[in-house]
Amino acid sequence: MVYYKIQNNSMKSIRNFHILVVSFIILFFASGGYTQPQIPKENISETTSSEVKKQIERLYDDKASERGAAAEALGEMGQQAVSAIPFLIELFADTDPIILKAQDGTAEITSPSKKAVASLIKIGPPAIEPLIAALQDKRTIIRFNSVEALKKIKDPRAVEPLIHVLKDNDSDVQKNAVEALGQIRDMHALGPLSSFHHNSKYSQKQEVAFALKNIIDKMRENRNTEELIRALNNSEAIVRELAADALGQMQASRAVQPLITLLEDEDPEVRKKAAVALGAIKDQKAVDPLISLLRDNNEEVREGAVKALQNIGVVALETLLNALKDKNESVRIAAVKILSGIKDKRMLTYMIDALDDESWIVRLEAARALGKINDAQAVGPLINALRDRNASVHDAAERSLISLGTSVADPLLVHALKEDDIRIRSSAAKILGEVRDKSAIIYLIDALKDQTWVVRAEAAIALGKIGDEQALGPLYDATNDRDSYVRDVAAGAIQKIKDQ
């Protein structure tokens, strides 16, 4: 509907009113003016009550507003106005504009046809059969509005007739039938809508997909497991995808084997949905097929398999531990990611071993995982990982050592300040500053004399973070360092300690 804000005593009000009038004129002449209904007045049944008869007769009035008001009045009578149904259907062709003004200054353009549709919706079930018959009318507007009314009434008797309307020669009528079938949500429309989706233009596919989703959602709500399993074999990928998703939400154990089969589907989105569904069901039979899916050439499919195996959890543990030795890099990467979320004593040993994997991504994920395991045995291997040739692995090891905190990290980190590798010495200083353990101050003061400026700088920054006054003297000395950056950070550390 088109709305115009009419504001009195302003130029905007006048302009908008002119627009409204012009719209009225355009709509009137575009519609061809009012034409008498094809049903003669004489066809009004003698058994019709006087009030209903009076309103039917008003449908023949020369004024569109009168015809609209009569249609509305018949709708308010509900099923008492059953004898008016054929006349209201005939009014579907009456598109003459009616302007309705509201108290707030707005105006709505409607028509007798829209009023008739609304009235038939109120009359409800008794209107179904006449509306179904009207789907065969030669006039497009009658067919369109008949679908519109059936869409809102949502009676299952309309499903088969609406399926036939999918073959209508008018695209707007077809589109409305798709929406109607989606609103009614009857599973018998699934097959025909799937075929229509296959043959639709790209611009129509989204609307059909929405209708298909509505139907499958209803099947899920009704727990139509067998029908949804059957839908996994549908020719349209969108249906297979939606059905897999629904079965996963239902945690339907009967669907495990069909969903495993679907992991080999030609469509990657279907494979992903099948994997996620299996993860939701959490059946051990799905573990090996999901591990195999980690080799899929589609990244999103692999992510779906990872998510599924994460949901399955401990049940998949043994298979995942074996997967850490798989020849395929993607499988090893996924296995480390999944295992990092499982609490088991064996994780520590396997993650430490993974720090030596030939894939830097596996090493990265292992370093991250060890940061989540609060075990002193992880500190040594993580310190060694600071030597890693890949900067991301080095940084992950550093962050994990920080997350382990003072309770387990400091003794070995203090020793790391004397390592030959510059990266280990500088990282050790940085980590000691982050964990803020005052017992490390003496070692950090000593590191201010390191031969490498990077280590001296990190030591100065760390002392500033720890914030102990006993570091002030050595830090003042460091303000005379031969490297300008070390001098700057030493001055900053001094100021930080003073401000505390």
CA distance 141 to 113: 9
Task: Please compute Rg for the chain using Cα positions.
Answer: 37
Percentage of the chain modeled with pLDDT above 90 = 69
Predicted pLDDT at 35: 58
- What's 417's DSSP letter? T
Q: What is the mean pLDDT of residues 51-57?
A: 93
CA distance 423 to 432: 14
- Using DSSP's 3-state secondary structure scheme, residue 109 falls into strand
Among 231-245, 373-387, 477-491, the minimum mean pLDDT is found in 373-387
| Pairing mode, strands 3-5 and 98-101 | unpaired
- What's 60's DSSP letter? T
Predicted pLDDT at 416: 87
- The pTM is what? 0.74
Chain center to CA of 486 = 50
- What's 421's DSSP letter? -
Whether the pLDDT of residue 409 is over 70: the answer is no
- Classify burial at 268, counting beta carbons within 10 Å of its beta carbon; exposed 0-12, middle 13-18, buried 19 or more: middle
Q: What is the DSSP secondary-structure string of 280-342?
A: HHT-GGGHHHHHHHTT-S-HHHHHHHHHHHHHHGGGGHHHHHHHTT-S-HHHHHHHHHHHTTS
CA distance 154 to 139: 23
Mean pLDDT of the chain: 88
Please give the C-alpha separations between residue 186 and each of 126, 127, 162, 376, in angstroms, as whole numbers. 20, 19, 11, 60
Predicted pLDDT at 322: 87
Contact between 329 and 362 under an 8 Å Cβ cutoff? The reply is yes
Q: What is the mean pLDDT of residues 318-342?
A: 88
Predicted pLDDT at 344: 75
Whether the pLDDT of residue 30 is over 80: the answer is no
Predicted pLDDT at 338: 87
Q: Which of 466, 414, 462, 415 is nearest to 438 (CA)?
A: 466
Contact between 348 and 379 under an 8 Å Cβ cutoff? The reply is no
Dump pLDDT digits (tens) for 193-224. 999 998 877 667 889 999 999 999 999 999 99
- Among 66-70, 107-111, 439-443, top mean pLDDT goes to 66-70
- What's 387's DSSP letter? T
- What's 79's DSSP letter? G
Q: What is the mean pLDDT of residues 419-436?
A: 90
CA distance 78 to 181: 24
Predicted pLDDT at 3: 32
Residue 302 tokens read as 């692999």
Please give the C-alpha separations between residue 282 and each of 187, 219, 278, 312, in angstroms, as whole numbers. 27, 22, 6, 5
pLDDT band, residue 241 (cuts 50/70/90) = very high
Predicted pLDDT at 499: 84
- Among 145-149, 311-315, 323-327, 441-445, top mean pLDDT goes to 145-149
Contact between 413 and 431 under an 8 Å Cβ cutoff? The reply is yes
pLDDT band, residue 258 (cuts 50/70/90) = very high
Contact between 499 and 469 under an 8 Å Cβ cutoff? The reply is no
- What's 44's DSSP letter? S
- Classify burial at 241, counting beta carbons within 10 Å of its beta carbon; exposed 0-12, middle 13-18, buried 19 or more: buried
Whether the pLDDT of residue 102 is over 80: the answer is no
CA distance 13 to 77: 38
Q: What is the mean pLDDT of residues 43-56?
A: 90
Higher pLDDT, 411 or 215: 215
